[in-house]
Amino acid sequence: MSKQETAQELLDTGLRAMQREDAETARASFLECLQVDDSIASAYNNLGLLALGEGDLEKAKEYLQTAIEKDPRLFSAYTNLAAIEQTRENLADAERLYLKSVQLNPNASEAYYNLGLLYVKQEKLVQAKTAFEKVTQLNPDNFDSFYMLGNVYATLQDYYASIANFQYIVFQLPELIEARVALAEMYRRQGKYPLAIHELRAALELNPEDVDILQHLGLIFLETANGEMALGAFERIVELDPNRADAYETLSILYDLAGLSDAALESCRKALELDPENERTRETYEEMKKKNALAASAQTAPAPEETEES
Do the two domains 1-106 and 242-296 of this chain adopt the same fold? yes
Q: Rounded to whole angstroms, what are the CA distances from 282 to 102, 163, 242?
A: 56, 40, 19
Query: CA–CA separation, 108 vs 98, rounded Å?
Result: 9
Which class is 1-106 in CATH?
mainly alpha
User: How many Å separate Cα 204 from the centre of its chain?
Assistant: 18
Among candidate residues 127, 192, 121, 116, the one with its CA nearest the CA of residue 159: 192
Exposure letters 197-230 (e unless 16+ CB within 10 A, then b): bebbebbbeeeeebbebbbbbbebbbebebeeeb
Distance in angstroms between the alpha carbons of the first and the last residue of the chain: 131
Q: Along the 310 residues of the chain, how does pLDDT read in single tens digits?
A: 788 889 899 899 999 999 999 999 999 999 999 999 999 999 999 999 999 999 999 999 999 999 999 999 999 999 999 999 999 999 999 999 999 999 999 999 999 999 999 999 999 999 999 999 999 999 999 999 999 999 999 999 999 999 999 999 999 999 999 999 999 999 999 999 999 999 999 999 999 999 999 999 999 999 999 999 999 999 999 999 999 999 999 999 999 989 898 898 899 899 989 999 999 989 888 888 888 888 777 766 455 555 555 3
The predicted pLDDT at position 310 comes to 38
Record the pTM.
0.84
Please give the DSSP secondary-structure letter assigned to residue 90: -
Length reported for the chain: 310
What CATH number does the domain located at 242-296 have? 1.25.40.10
List the chain domain ranges: 1-106, 242-296
- How far apart CA 16 and CA 123 sit, in angstroms, is 39
Count Cα atoms within 13 angstroms, Cβ side, for 203: 25
Q: Give pLDDT, residue 1.
A: 73
